[in-house]
A and B are shown apart, each in its own frame.
Chain A
């Protein structure tokens, strides 16, 4: 490593780094990641993220399950988005709510009707109605009807909310199912080959294609759902919210728990950066320090450090790390500390030590010794600054190793608790059979982020290597 004649300044190095195309990509992507990290931490504070990711308070009730990102529609698909109609929000188009008291009684007649356009090529994923009823003793008595664009009307069910805030899951409600099965039976003049789920029967074009889920097509046009009901009590009231869940959501889609993946992917950035950079920096510097001490002092210190290095070589890194993180639930900081403790006596020590032993014999060190510089001074001011530059590329290049290590631990279910990370999302997707079910976006999004992040560091590392170790450029 002939780096003697080079003086490295940060500015000069970055300037030179930008003469490499890979260096430009690396730095640009790195800057983007740093900006996004700051944005994430500010826009989605730690506590809020934990609450969101746990799904406390039903925050994800209105998002579809395992929905793809909406931009898949730009690639020739026409998947439905989620449609919401809420009677409590007056002025929303497609919502009519009329409540009229019946004279001489304390009863009221209510009619809520929702209309919406549906012009997608695929069926919705689910349909739910959320009620918020106000009553004293008797729950309201509701009849729910569905009107297709061609005017066909289906009575779905008679419904009595069991509580003030009841939820009606149309897609799995047995009454709705049997009503729709009967309807499909009448249309086809017989039972279909495979039973149609409610969201299919409700939206399908009414001809022979209704015979099975694979041939059924959604009918485009304006749909209407209306609720006729009787309310009991002077101050009784009712509101309903219809949600026709789509199959696309947001820029990242959702997972099986309806959580917006954007949150997890964004939080993955600061976690990956913090984990990768901290581990890589601390380990490299401690390695460097130990190697320098080992090489410079020699004797007993040297052989002790060398024996510890051999001991570390024999202790299997990943099993020990997994053992520790299985037995003790570790948060990010402790996990980092354990990773660092298990890696500081790594293989890098031997080569750095050889370099130190070479430098030890240089005239300028001898000169320093001659004028009485202390060993500490020589180690910290004369040797370490000398061997630091050639090690920086290794440091940067090692960042992805630790980013992937965090992901690997997460895949084993040993990631940091509470917070989402890329590895955890991949783990979730695997655990829910995303690859079998074709939910590729769920695996690919965190995977691509991992790849780009690691490539960015790797590119910077390789380009830096050429700058600080110019011998590599010649060969």
Chain B
């Protein structure tokens, strides 16, 4: 019976999440095409191209007026059809949606990958490693730092260090990119010890070891900016979170029974507080894959964030849609997996009632 319930719950969640993804994808398609306005831009662009091409054809000029008009119209129809512009936007948007949902991302309009490919898939895959390298590392480092320092502070609450983190917590309202500006000012402009931005020295070093070293050197500042920004509040938040759990009755009871404090910490405090912590981590990692537009702009870090921005400014809709749909899928899958895990392991979360 429980298995049947669980299966029902999983199916229901999968369907709702998929519907949400469909709506989100369609919204993105709609906004990225400016509700069909991009079609007009493309139409006029095609028209200009066709006209200039024909005007430069010496034979064309000698044709009679009627024939010329017919040629223009025919060429335009063919070109419009080639770009799929012969159908109204609503029809096309449904087609886009189908392609996006089946991850048939197509090719970009203006952007190309550094290797020259026009396929959206290749463009994204080329940028993804840089983004994962920087922002997933930052997310993981922040996660473990705040977890361990939080645990330490909750064990020593009221100590000087605890008060220091409490006092420092408000500094986390300042976002990472903003600390980045200061780090660039100090370490790149004033002391000239670290690069202003970018991913690798120009020209890139030959040996893999030096290559990695150069990349690491470029990572220091952006990574530090994110760590500084999250440092105090992250640890302080976890500390408060653990403290709230450590005042629960069952923890007091275990203490009264004489359970060793090490065991209380791992079994009575850490375990029940794990689900929200894992949720935060999982969503944080998924989020980190989209990169960070502003941080990447400040540090000229060519990741997915800068790609997104470039795609938006160039109104390269296939790229925008590709990135958003990929993200939606990964996020939806993560949420679903988390739901299922909690449905399985946490007796307090009853499957079927929703979370």
Contact = CB atoms under 8 A, between A and B. Distances in A.
Contacts of A455: 170-171, 173-174
Contacts, number: 120
A324 to B, nearest CB: 7
Contacts of B133: none
Contact of B28 (A320, A326, A462): A320
Determine the interface band of chain A, counting residues with CB < 8 A from chain B: 35 or more
A435 interface: yes
Interface string B315-327: 1000010011001
Contact of B175 (A307, A326, A404): A404
A455 B170 CA distance: 6
Contacts of B188: 435
Given A319-B308, A447-B182, A440 B189 contact: yes
B54 interface: no
A447 B312 contact: no
A400 interface: yes
Main secondary structure, interface of A, reads helix
Main secondary structure, interface of B, reads helix
A408 interface: yes
Nearest to A437: B189
Contact of B331 (A314, A320, A404, A454): A314
Contact of A450 (B169, B178, B196): B178
A59 interface: no
B34 A327 contact: yes
Contacts of A319: 290, 293, 308, 312, 320, 323-324
Interface in A424-459: 426, 435-436, 438, 440, 443-444, 447, 450-451, 454-455, 457-459
A344 to B, nearest CB: 15
Interface in B152-199: 157, 167, 169-171, 173-175, 177-178, 181-182, 184-185, 188-189, 196
Nearest to A315: B24
Given A306-B354, A314-B331, A459-B170, A426 B294 contact: no
A22 B170 contact: yes
A457 B312 contact: no
A458 B293 contact: no
Nearest to A457: B173
A172 interface: no
B28 A310 contact: no
Interface residues of B, number: 53
B111 interface: no
B212 interface: no
Contacts of B174: 400, 404, 450-451, 454-455
A313 B331 contact: yes
Contacts of B24: 311, 314-315
B34 A475 contact: no
Nearest to A409: B294
A472 B240 contact: yes
B185 A443 contact: yes
A253 interface: no
Interface stretch (B15-23, B99-107, B136-144): B15-23
Interface of A: 22, 303, 306-307, 310-311, 313-316, 318-320, 322-324, 326-327, 397, 400-401, 404, 407-408, 411-412, 426, 435-436, 438, 440, 443-444, 447, 450-451, 454-455, 457-459, 461-462, 471-472, 475
26 contacts: A303-B354, A306-B354, A307-B19, A310-B16, A310-B17, A311-B27, A318-B294, A320-B28, A322-B293, A322-B308, A322-B309, A323-B32, A323-B312, A327-B37, A408-B177, A435-B188, A435-B196, A436-B189, A451-B174, A454-B173, A458-B173, A459-B170, A461-B170, A462-B169, A462-B170, A471-B244
